[in-house]
Amino acid sequence: MSGRLIILPKKSWNVWDPKNIERVRRDEAAAAEREAQEEEKERQDAAVERVKEMKRRATGENDEALVVAAPAPEPTPVRLFAREERAAAAALGGKTEEEFEREQRREERERKRLGMFAAPVALKPQGPAPWYASAPSAEVDAGAEAEAAPPPLKGGAARQARDDRRRREQDPMRGLVHIPRRGAQPPALPAPERERRRRSRSRDRSRRRRDRDRSRRRRGRDDEFAALRKRRLEREASERRKAVRLLAARDSGGEIGGV
């Protein structure tokens, strides 16, 4: 018999006590009954509400409350630059700026869907810039500029010109890097690119210098360790020779004394 003190049956919270098991079963049954009563009450209330709603619809109560107010007319947008917008629409082939931008967005989605981004030139904006992005200089005569400018294309000619320009700009061969001829000077890089390359070369030189110094220090430590190891081996060899001589002298002295 073990020496353990078994006191669990003495506790009132013993989960294996038949009284506690029966109490839990009673509580679970009471909770299930309350939940069923609440669900039944909710169903009855919903049925009563449905009956009331059907009676209300059958008798036509509150019909005047169902009258829907007529929607207010939408305000007309005020266009402060109507003349400029009409001029821009004429330059865009008879289209408004919203229609042109909508067409541009549709073409952009079509290009993305077809995966036609092989060259960077495909990302360039197409078509003429809007009127607010290309304001004429104060020194240019507006009349002379209007006379010198070619007449805008309209209809099918404008559409054909846009298609030709889009095909030229989306040509993948335009984005390829041209191989310079022998002896030709490389193109000048922009200032940020030159600065970035200069910093990269400086970091490479510093890294190579650190690597050389680290390798030189490592070789110096290796040479020092080799010298110390050589001296240790020589010292151990000298100690072994000395021990051999002492043992030989002791053995020879013992033999002479025994004779």
CA-nearest of 83, 106, 105, 86 to 97 is 86
Is residue 22 within 8 A of residue 16, CB to CB? The reply is no
Does residue 217 share a domain with residue 165?
no
Q: Tokens 């049925």 — which residue?
A: 47
Residue 68 domain flag = no
Q: What is the DSSP letter of 171?
A: -
Q: Tens of pLDDT along 14-48?
A: 888 899 999 999 999 999 999 999 999 999 999 99
231 falls within a domain: yes
70 vs 240 pLDDT, higher one:
240
Angle at 254 between CA 253 and CA 256, to 5 degrees: 65
Cα–Cα dist 118/99, whole Å: 27
Q: Are residues 104 and 159 in the same domain?
A: yes
**Strand ranges in the chain using DSSP code E only, listed in sequence order:** none
Are residues 161 and 214 both part of a single domain?
no
Taking 60 as the threshold, does the pLDDT of residue 149 lie above it? no
pTM tops 0.85 = no
In a domain, 162, yes or no: yes
Number of domains the chain contains = 3
- pLDDT at residue 258, rounded to an integer: 45
Q: Which domain holds residue 29?
A: 11-46
pLDDT in the model for residue 111: 77
Q: What is the mean pLDDT of the chain?
A: 75
Give the number of residues written for the chain: 259
